[in-house]
């Protein structure tokens, strides 16, 4: 009965304020719960296998590492991304973060959950889920942390606790605005642990929306490991091309 009332209220509201696809702006069904039309959802490209054993970048040899991981040290043991950061996903993430797009959370986290079903080694023996934090100013301006929203939904799907384990201590430039060399140093020493007891001795899944150079995930992983986490693995919605 309650579900029927909610559905009727949602339909009525969406008839007054019609829903549109976040990507192509095509009108959506009043009961839509994805936020994107079937065509745009079908254009999402999965991050193609095989993956680099560490960072998850696509490689030609399934047993090999990418060139970056052969010369660079990461504090996480494994990172994987569900999709490529292009087209539908790029636009949907932009709307999600900057245009009050919380209605996209179900669609985006669903892509990550589907990825985990096919790549369950990423969460094998994991004890808890955490997420990349935002600095206070950015969090107040945006009203929510997109990584926390995704992490909370993933944690619920895999039946693990979600821990608010990290703080970002200062505002930095957006990683997307920087060159590769700038991204590698932009976030150094900007994260700190909230309560080391929450993650000490635990294997942690660290969640964010996009991975490009891996610098954000690496800095967060460094803090977690230095404060006693047994292992950090990473999952992002999208991988920069």
Spans of all domains in the chain: 25-239
**pLDDT bracket for residue 176 (50, 70, 90):** low
Tens-place pLDDT, residues 13-28? 444 457 899 999 999 9
pLDDT class for 4, splitting at 50, 70, 90? low
Label the pairing between strands 166-168 and 231-239. Answer: unpaired
Answer yes or no: is pLDDT of 198 > 50: yes
The residue-averaged pLDDT of 50-70 equals 88
pTM of the model: 0.88
Beta strands across the sheet bearing 203-211: 78-84, 231-239, 203-211, 128-131
For the range 50-58, what are the long-range contacts, defined as Cβ-Cβ under 8 Å and sequence gap of 24 or more? 51/80, 53/78, 54/78, 54/79, 55/79, 55/211, 55/214, 56/80, 56/81, 56/211, 56/239, 57/239
Over the stretch 122-159, which tens digit does the pLDDT of each residue have? 999 999 999 999 998 989 999 999 999 999 999 999 99
Judge whether residue 180 has pLDDT over 60. Answer: no
Query: How does residue 33 score in pLDDT terms, banded at 50, 70 and 90?
Result: confident
| Measured distance CA(122)–CA(233) in Å, rounded | 7
- pLDDT at position 12: 45
Please give the average per-residue pLDDT across 190-202, as a whole number: 95
Q: How far is CA 47 from the centre of its chain?
A: 14
- Across 12-16, 70-74, 119-123, least confident range: 12-16
Mean pLDDT of 63-74: 88
Fold of 25-239: Rossmann fold (3.40.50)
- CA contacts within 13 A on the Cβ side of 171: 6
Residue 33: which of 107, 108, 102, 91 has the closest Cα?
107
Residue 11 confidence (pLDDT) above 60 = no
């Amino acid at each position: 009965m309650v579900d029927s009332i909610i559905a009727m209220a949602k339909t009525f509201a969406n008839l007054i304020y019609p829903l549109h696809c976040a990507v192509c702006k095509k009108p959506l069904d009043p009961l839509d719960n994805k936020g994107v039309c079937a065509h745009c959802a079908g254009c999402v490209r999965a991050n193609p296998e095989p993956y680099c054993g560490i960072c998850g970048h696509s490689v030609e040899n399934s047993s090999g590492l990418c060139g970056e991981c052969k010369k660079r040290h990461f504090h996480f043991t494994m990172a994987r991304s569900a999709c490529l950061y292009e087209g539908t996903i790029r636009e949907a993430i932009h709307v999600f973060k900057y245009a009050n797009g919380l209605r996209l959370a179900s669609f985006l986290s669903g892509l990550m959950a589907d990825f985990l079903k096919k790549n369950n080694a990423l969460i094998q023996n994991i004890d808890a889920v955490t997420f990349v934090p935002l600095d206070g100013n950015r969090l107040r301006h945006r009203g929510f942390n997109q990584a926390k929203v995704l992490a909370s939904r993933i944690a619920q799907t895999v039946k693990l606790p979600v821990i608010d384990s990290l703080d970002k201590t200062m505002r930095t430039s957006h990683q997307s605005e920087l060159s590769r060399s700038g991204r590698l140093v932009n976030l150094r020493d900007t994260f700190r642990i909230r309560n080391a007891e929450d993650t000490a001795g635990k294997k942690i899944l660290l969640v964010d929306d996009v991975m490009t150079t891996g610098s954000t995930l690496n800095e967060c992983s460094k803090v977690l490991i230095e404060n006693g986490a047994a292992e950090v693995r990473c999952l992002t919605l999208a991988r920069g091309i």
